[in-house]
Amino acid sequence: MRETLAEWRPAVDDAIDDLVPREIDAEYLESFFGEPTYEYDPEGIQRALSDPLWDLLDRGGKRWRAVLFLVFVEGFGHDPTEYLPYACIPEILHNGTIIVDDVEDEASIRRGEPALHHVYGQDVALNAGNAMYFLPLKILTENPAGLPAEQRLAAYEMLMYELNRTHLGQGMDICWHNEREVRITPEQYLEMCACKTGCLGRIVARLAAIITDQPSEVEEAVANYAELTSVAFQIGDDILDVENSLGRAGEFGKEFGNDVREGKKTLLVIDAIEESPPGRAERLQAILEADTNTDEEVLEALSIIEEAGSIDDARERALELAEQARAEIDGLDLDEETSEKLREFTRFVVDRDT
């Protein structure tokens, strides 16, 4: 999968450049946004849209959503180069959510550089992020692959379904974050992940299925695969944060026990509060609720999580989800090379520490 990512990346970036060029001129604006009633200002649109978008993209990112889309297309027996513009849809959507999430989370750093709202101002960054929710959706209207109306409509309806659920997931996450008490169930945490992270994965898979006209059971199977893999990825992320921090107790630093410091209600925290003896559960809750914590207090919280067996439980859950994801793929009639790529991808997102 690593090779596939590297192989496709230049072509993906070219396709994004066709959608939103690095250099905006009146000709592009007229062709993409339609004739102006009066007169466009290419200079302003350059700075409001193209500059922030390319700044973020040039900072890195593997474009894995675009490439996973192309892998699916190839797996369904079609030529991926014919569908390159569509690969931009999940990729640009994802980068838009990054910009908006960073404003919502008041993040200071993104991909090693100041978050976009610190570079361009909150107003420009937010508007660019929001524009990135709609720019790629217009590709379906432009219809570069000449899809019949039925498939275009199915794609729009799928996107509305998934983007609504994305905001539902983000809403739950934000709301829990602002609450002090940990009151949610593990199942609600998984739902949040399925919505917030999973829906963008589902868009990748379902879009590939829709535009290549797969039967609905295939679309459903690849959507489940993508959702399960995304949820496993999120749990893997939560585990990494706890394990990496425990692994270097003593050398405290900025990154030490980030999730606990932010009071995040991860699967591990929810599980530890359920499974710990009352006194320890209360202590964990108190540390999570506190506005600030010493490094020693953060370490104490991490130890409570570890002692409750919550790291092992979470890993077991992630492996179970990854297993289910692979089963969805095994049930399909894909060529062996594609199936192996997809299995490898699921392994990769869960075992990132190895």
- Name the site residues for a second copy (rule: CB under 8 A): 29, 32-34, 36-41, 44-45, 47-49, 100, 103-106, 121-124, 126-128, 130-131, 133-135, 137-138, 140-141, 149-150, 152-153, 156-157, 160-161, 163-165, 167-168, 170-172, 174-178, 184-185, 187-188, 190-192, 194, 198, 227
In terms of phi and psi (left: phi > 0; alpha: psi -120 to 50; beta: otherwise), the region of 43 is: alpha
Q: Output 116 or 299, the one with its CB closest to a second copy.
A: 116
Spell out a b/e string for 20-54, using b for 16 or more CB atoms within 10 Å of the CB, else e: beeebeeebbeeeeeeeeeebebeebeebbbbbbb
CB 194 within 8 A of CB 231: yes
CB of residue 102 to a second copy, shortest distance in Å = 11
Q: How far from the centroid of its chain's Cα atoms is residue 110's Cα?
A: 14
Spell out a b/e string for 102-114, using b for 16 or more CB atoms within 10 Å of the CB, else e: beeeebeebeeee
Checking DSSP bridges between strand 113-114 and strand 109-110, what pairing results, if any? antiparallel
Measured CA distances, 134 to 83, 88, 159, 162, 288 (Å): 19, 12, 11, 14, 37
Phi, psi of 114 (to 5 degrees): -55, 140
Instruction: Report how far residue 323's alpha carbon sits from residue 338's, in angstroms, rounded to the nearest whole number.
Output: 17
CB 63 within 8 A of CB 8: yes
Q: Is 155 helix (H, G, I), strand (E, B) or coil?
A: helix
CB of residue 234 to a second copy, shortest distance in Å = 13
Kindly state the tokens that stand for 140.
């379906």
Q: Is 113 helix (H, G, I), strand (E, B) or coil?
A: strand
Kindly state the tokens that stand for 308.
């409750």
CB 331 within 8 A of CB 220: no
For helices 186-196 and 198-211, angle between their N-to-C axes, nearest 10 degrees? 50
For helices 186-196 and 267-275, angle between their N-to-C axes, nearest 10 degrees? 180
Question: Of all helices (H) and strands (E), which one includes residue 32?
Answer: helix 26-33
